[in-house]
Structure 1
C-alpha cells in the first residue's frame, strides 16, 4: 500500500484503540490473526506496514470494518497528540538539534504530552517565521536583480496574462479606470471593499473565504494608487502564489505582482505603440509616458525599463535615490557602474555626487526633468531626472542611456555635463586637500543615527505584516 510514516502511525494507534477497547492483549489479538504479539507491536507502533490481508483479519477479529482501521483520523485526542509528537520529532528541524526523542508512555499525563507538542509547534512556527539576516536578504535581492538583468527586466508570460485579463474586462484604450479594475476583480470572484481601518502593516488584505479585497479609502503615500494595489492583490491569485517560505520567495512574488500591475496600467501593446512613435519622433520622455497612462513618474520609469530593451532595442538604467545620496532601487543593462557592497547589493550604497540623480536636488526648478550628460570610466551617459517628496523626505527618479542612445530623447540638446570618476574616492568623497588641512582638526559634527541601521529585518511569512492585526480585521469584517 506504500503508506507514509504518518499514515502508519495513525493506523497503529487505531488498531491499539480498538484492541484495548475489546480488552485484548497483543498476544490475544495475535493468536486470532496468526501473528506473533511482537510483530503486532511493530504494526501498532507504526514501524511495519501490514499486508491488506492482515489488516482485514485484524478488523474481523476486532469486530470493526476495514475502513474504520484505515481512517486517517486519530482515534482520540491523546492519540492525535502522540502522532503529532512522533512526526515532529522525526522532522529535520528537531533531529538537527541532536536531542533525544521522547516516547509517550502510559504514565505521561495528557497535559505533559500537550506541553511537549506545544513546544514543538512553537519551534516550528519560529523557524517558519524566522527573519532573514540582512546579509541573506541583500543576497536574495541581488540574485533577483541579476536574474532580471539577464532577462532585460522583461517577463513575457506576465505581459501575456495581463493582456488576457484586460481583454476579458473589455479594456481597449486609454488609462485603466477604477471601474475596469473592479470588473477584473469580479471576474475572479472577488469584490473590492474600501475601509478606513485597514491594518497598519498591510497595503491590502484579501479575504479568500468571502472573496473580498480590502483597500484603503484613498491612495497611501509613496505612489501606490488604489488601482495598483487592487491589481497586485489579484495577481497573487492569477499567478498561483502560495505562502512564501523564504525571503527570496517573498521578493520574487512582490516583483511579479508589481510587474502584473504595471502591465495592466500601461498595457504592452498600447505602451509600445506610444513609445515607438515617440522614438521615431526623437521625442522620448518619461513624463509624457507618465501622463499618457495616468500613473506616477516612478511607475512610468520602471515600466519603461520593462519595454525599452526588448521592444526599442535600447539598453538603459533606472535609479531611485534618496536626498542623502543612498540608492533605494536600481537597474542597469547598459554598463553603468553602480556602487555595490561586498555581497553585490546596491541598496543603500551612495551614488556619485556628480550624477544627476543627486545634482537634481540642487536645482531651483523641481517641476521639470533635469537633463545631464555624465562622463564615467565606463563611458558617457545621458540622464533625465525628476525629483519628488514623500513623508520620508525627498527622492529622485532617473532614467538614463548610453551616449549613442540619447538621440531618441527630448532633452538631448542639454549643455549640462559632469565628469564622474567614482569609485575613485578623489571624485567626490575625499575632500580637497586645502579644505581638509584647514578643517580636519576644527570640525566635530554630530552624526545623525539612521534608525534603519538598528531595526531588525521584518519577520513573518509576509515580512512586516502583523498577523494578529490582520486576523482581527478579517474577523471584524466577516460578519458584514
Structure 2
C-alpha cells in the first residue's frame, strides 16, 4: 500500500535526522548508498517514496535500522511541529479559506512555526464549536428521526437502565417524587441545589468536581418539570456522555437524556401494564395516562410513542404544533402524510388546516381532548388533540392512529370528520379562485419574519450555552 503524504514526511524527517547526526551532506550519503544527493533530498522532503533496498542502505550507512527509519514518531521537536503544521495546512478547514500554505524554511524559528500552529488550532476549535448551519441541523434531525422511526422509537437499554436506577432508589409505584429523584442523585454522588441565579442560557448546570446539580428554584411556575431536568442532568453521567463532537451528536445526546427522564417518570413495566389494561377496556386516552403518572400531556403523548408499537402493536403519530400551524415536534410510524422540505425535515413545516392539530385551536373548550377522523391520501386516521399555552404562545398536542386502531381509544365514537388532500395545494394552501381574482395585485401584506431565519445556530461545546456565563456561575457557587 502506498505511503500517505504524512508518512512520507515523517520518514523524510527521520532520514534527515540520522544523516545530519552522522555529519553527512546529501551528496556524501548519496555516494555511499549509490544515488544522487538530489534524490535523497526528494526523500527527505517527503516528495518520493524510497524502495526498501535504498532504505536498508541508508539505515546501514547511518548506523540505525529500517524499523527506526519507518517509525511514525517525529525524531525531535522541530520535526514534530513541522509535521503538525503540514497536517493542519492539509486539512479541509484550512483549504476552504483559499489561503496559500506557509512554506517552512531551515532558517524559520521554532517560535514562528508554533505561532502559526496556534492560529490553526484556534481555527480548528472554532470549526468544532461552530455547530451546524440550519440546513445541516435539519438534516441531522431528520436522520435521527428516521433512525428512531426504524427502531419504533424504543430504546431498550435506556428503559432497563431507568428501571434499575428506580429500584435502587426504592421507587415501586405511583408518581415519581422529588424526594426519590434526590435519592437517585445522591446515589450518583450528586446533590440537587435550587438557585435563582442559574445562567439564562442553561436549564441546569452540573458541577462534576463538587458533585452538585444546579436547578431553577422549586417555586417557579410549572415546577413539576424540575424532576425531568434533574433526571436529564443525571442521564448524561449514567449514559457516559462526553462533550458533543457535532450537532448530530448533540441531538442524539439530548434525545437520550429526554428518553431516560421519561422512562423514570413513567417506568416501562408500570406504563405498559396501565396501557395494556386500558386497551383491553378499549379506553386508551392520553389524559388518563398523563394523570396516572403526574406528568404533562405532552410527556404522556410522547411516552405512548415509545411503548404502544413495541408492546401493544399499535402504530401511531404524535404532533406538537404551534399556533401558526408549524410543527415543533413530531413522530410517526403509521404513514400519516406530513409536509417536509427538500432535506426530508418535517419540523417547522405547516400542517394541513384540516388536521385536528390545527382545528383544535378553534374549539371553545380547550381544557379537554378533542377527537377527529381525517381522510387523507394515505387512508383515514383518528386522533385526539388538546391545546395549551406558554409564554411563547399557543400549541396543540396530538396523538393519532390509523382508522382500524381507533377501536382501542376513548373518543372513537366521535362524529367529527375532515378531509385532507395535502400535499395538493388546492386542499388548504391555494386561495379560492374567485377571492384570488378579487384581490390579486391589490394587497401588500407585511410578513412576520422569524429571527431564527437569519440567526446562525449557537456556538460552543454545548450548543446554545454561554460557556463564560456558566463558568462564572460555577466559580461563584464553588466558594460557598
TM range (shorter): 0.7 to 0.9
**Cα displacement (A) at 1:465:** 1.4
CA contact (8 A) 1:219 1:226 kept: no
**Match of residue 259 from structure 2:** 259
CA contact (8 A) 2:206 2:213 kept: yes
2:289 partner SS: helix
CA contact (8 A) 1:158 1:260 kept: yes
**Cα displacement (A) at 1:289:** 0.8
Quote the Cα distance in structure 1 between the aligned partners of 2:331 and 2:444: 37
CA contact (8 A) 1:82 1:104 kept: no
2:346 partner SS: coil
**Cα displacement (A) at 1:408:** 1.2
Quote the Cα distance in structure 2 between the aligned partners of 1:227 and 1:333: 29
- The answer to whether residue 141 in structure 2 is matched with residue 134 in structure 1 is no
- The answer to whether residue 198 in structure 2 is matched with residue 198 in structure 1 is yes
CA deviation string 1:212-238 (max 9, x = no partner): 211111487899811111111111111
Quote the Cα distance in structure 1 between the aligned partners of 2:445 and 2:268: 51
**Cα displacement (A) at 1:99:** 4.3
**Match of residue 217 from structure 1:** 217
CA contact (8 A) 1:196 1:217 kept: yes
Quote the Cα distance in structure 2 between the aligned partners of 1:223 and 1:409: 30
CA contact (8 A) 2:130 2:458 kept: no
**Cα displacement (A) at 1:343:** 1.1
The more displaced of 442-451 and 90-99 is: 90-99
**Cα displacement (A) at 1:450:** 1.8
CA contact (8 A) 1:250 1:462 kept: yes
- The answer to whether residue 226 in structure 2 is matched with residue 226 in structure 1 is yes
Quote the Cα distance in structure 2 between the aligned partners of 1:338 and 1:115: 53
2:406 partner SS: helix
CA contact (8 A) 1:196 1:216 kept: yes
**Match of residue 365 from structure 2:** 365
CA contact (8 A) 2:131 2:246 kept: no
1:354 partner SS: coil
**Cα displacement (A) at 1:28:** 8.3
Quote the Cα distance in structure 2 between the aligned partners of 1:333 and 1:424: 22
Quote the Cα distance in structure 1 between the aligned partners of 2:105 and 2:463: 37
1:430 partner SS: coil
**Match of residue 70 from structure 2:** none
Quote the Cα distance in structure 1 between the aligned partners of 2:447 and 2:190: 50
Change (3 A) 1:447 1:148: same
CA contact (8 A) 2:198 2:216 kept: yes
**Match of residue 476 from structure 1:** 476
Within 5 Å, give how 1:257-296 maps onto structure 2: 257-296=257-296
**Match of residue 431 from structure 1:** 431
Quote the Cα distance in structure 2 between the aligned partners of 1:90 and 1:134: 27
Quote the Cα distance in structure 2 between the aligned partners of 1:303 and 1:219: 26
**Match of residue 171 from structure 1:** 171
**Match of residue 327 from structure 1:** 327
**Cα displacement (A) at 1:404:** 1.1
2:140 partner SS: helix
**Cα displacement (A) at 1:459:** 2.2
Quote the Cα distance in structure 2 between the aligned partners of 1:473 and 1:318: 38
**Cα displacement (A) at 1:125:** 0.9
Calculate the aligned-residue CA RMSD, in Å. 3.9
Q: Give the TM-score taking structure 2 as reference length.
A: 0.81
Quote the Cα distance in structure 2 between the aligned partners of 1:28 and 1:446: 79
**Match of residue 108 from structure 1:** 109
Change (3 A) 1:363 1:407: same
**Cα displacement (A) at 1:103:** 3.7
1:388 partner SS: strand
**Match of residue 353 from structure 1:** 353
**Cα displacement (A) at 1:115:** 3.0
2:407 partner SS: helix
For these two proteins, the number of residue pairs brought into alignment is 448
2:315 partner SS: coil
2:132 partner SS: coil
Task: Please list every run of 5 or more consecutive structure 1 residues that lacks an aligned counterpart in the other structure.
Answer: 17-24, 30-35, 39-44, 47-53, 59-71
2:141 partner SS: helix
Within 5 Å, give how 1:9-408 maps onto structure 2: 26=21, 85=85, 88=88, 93-94=93-94, 99-103=100-104, 108=109, 110=111, 112-218=112-218, 225-408=225-408
**Cα displacement (A) at 1:437:** 2.4
**Cα displacement (A) at 1:348:** 1.1
